[in-house]
Structure 1
């Protein structure tokens, strides 16, 4: 299994700066972050430049994160907002197709929507959104990876959609930090191992801190045992952030990050 890192590891850093640093650290797999302007596919000119850089640096895209937070209205009852999110997610799908990305990662229903009619209507809208995006992505050779969340009410919807949609086109983006917030690593990963498309790997102490592995309380030896058993066909994709850490130098951060990723594979 190869190791990779999200291009959004340093808030505000664009692809022109991030990609050479990622390459120099030794990574060869990446996931594009949720800001199209920083990730390099907001317009045709940037996308062409991004494509050339990826080829030059021999970097492979494992996945793209759908625009965040602008693309997070797929379950909205405000139709204009939902359609705007659909347009942005289609932009990500188009970029993934052109760049040979395997999948686009989607967020689902907002946290804290109480049971009742409103929640059911939102789920219906979200189901329609995922269906539309699946139909758009399939002929372009792109899968949809639905990301697990930090609360039971969110993951209930995730489970429902994974059970409803075909595994050939829709699967799981497993976020280790999110499940650790819920205090139940790695139940979700084991339950839906056959549906895994990609990883978001980071550590924490019970809040969504996006720490490097071995800086929180996740049991990485247990995680590694699952990796060995399941033999997943994707990269071990780190999703850490420099913000709130002791690191100020991205070169140092990436050097530590790749060593931590490799340590996970040996845990």
Structure 2
């Protein structure tokens, strides 16, 4: 199964976006779960209509991505910290409501060391996720100290790891994240470390050794989709359809590498 992040660029109506994703050959989508980054110009929370429209287009919904703008607030002992924790709890509830298995979350970065109250919030999220049957996948960015701490401290089958290939290559290329946390792998974000933004390029356009990466993913026995999280930032000469066609070709190459564990 191959999937793609739904907000990959271009000004497209959501319904048309999902139809295009399906038409080029993707099986499913990962949904951006907020009105941030210009996704919902109405401000009415219309992103919540996304699951129905994606399913009407024939797409599987792999996960939602929680908002990231205030990610560093989670450790704070103030109202901002409480607001972000409530946002994540609402995301877990939304997963249950919309029958989506997983929510992806960013932990605070290396400039924001973990705190006791922040860990307590993660444990509250774990309790809710266990009760509702939802998985919370913590994504690697420039946050390995916090990511390692939470995965070590929170022993819950509902709190796990979202492996992001581009962030791995960019921030911690010498760390074998899949060996360390592959047993708790719950989601993939596959994109190359390249281009003007230094990340989120199409696979095979940057510095990542994809044969090794997909072999390492296969070694974890993860059964989820091969999921593309590329953006059109360095592909603006392509139309949305051309970008998606290229993305699906790259996804199929990755899927082949993943299926061939001896590559």
How would you bin the TM-score normalised by the shorter chain?
0.7 to 0.9
Tell me the secondary structure at the aligned position of residue 75 of structure 2.
Answer: coil
Matching residue of 1:65: 65
Cα 1:105–1:12 shift into 2, 3 Å = farther
Asked if residue 169 in structure 1 is aligned to residue 168 in structure 2, the reply is no
Q: Is there any run of 5+ residues in structure 2 with no aligned partner, and where?
A: 258-263
Counterpart position of 1:197: 186
Q: Deviations over 1:4-63 (max 9, x none)?
A: 1011211665533321121112112211124347389x868763x434323322211111
Give runs of aligned pairs for residues 70-219 of structure 1, distance below 5 A: 70=70, 72-77=72-77, 79-113=78-112, 119=113, 122-150=114-142, 154-184=143-173, 187-205=176-194, 208-219=198-209
Matches within 5 A, 1:6-17: 6-10=5-9, 13=12, 15-17=14-16
Residue 157 of structure 1: SS of its match in structure 2? helix
Alignment coverage as a number of residue pairs: 253
Report the Cα distance in structure 2 between the residues aligned to 1:65 and 1:45, rounded to whole angstroms. Answer: 15
Matched, 1:256 2:246: yes
| 8 Å Cα contact 1:63/1:103 also seen in 2 | yes
So what's the TM-score if we normalise by structure 1?
Answer: 0.84
Aligned partners of 2:130, 2:14: CA distance in 1, in Å? 27
- How far apart in 2 are the matches of 1:86 and 1:260? 36
Measure, in 2, the Cα distance between the counterparts of 1:39 and 1:104. Answer: 19
Distance in 2 separating the partners of 1:173 and 1:56: 27
Computed over aligned residues only, the root mean square deviation of the Cα atoms, in angstroms, reads 2.5
Q: Check whether the contact 2:193–2:207 (CA below 8 A) recurs between aligned residues.
A: yes
Question: Does structure 2 retain, via aligned residues, the 8 Å contact 1:31–1:62?
Answer: yes
For 2:50, the equivalent position in structure 1 comes to 50
- 1:4–1:29 CA contact under 8 A, matched in 2: yes
Gaps of 5+ in 1: 114-118
Equivalent residue of 1:198, what SS? Answer: strand
Q: Given the superposition, is the C-alpha separation of residues 27 and 82 from structure 1 closer, same or farther in structure 2, using an over 3 Å criterion? A: same
Distance 1:99 1:71, change over 3 A: farther
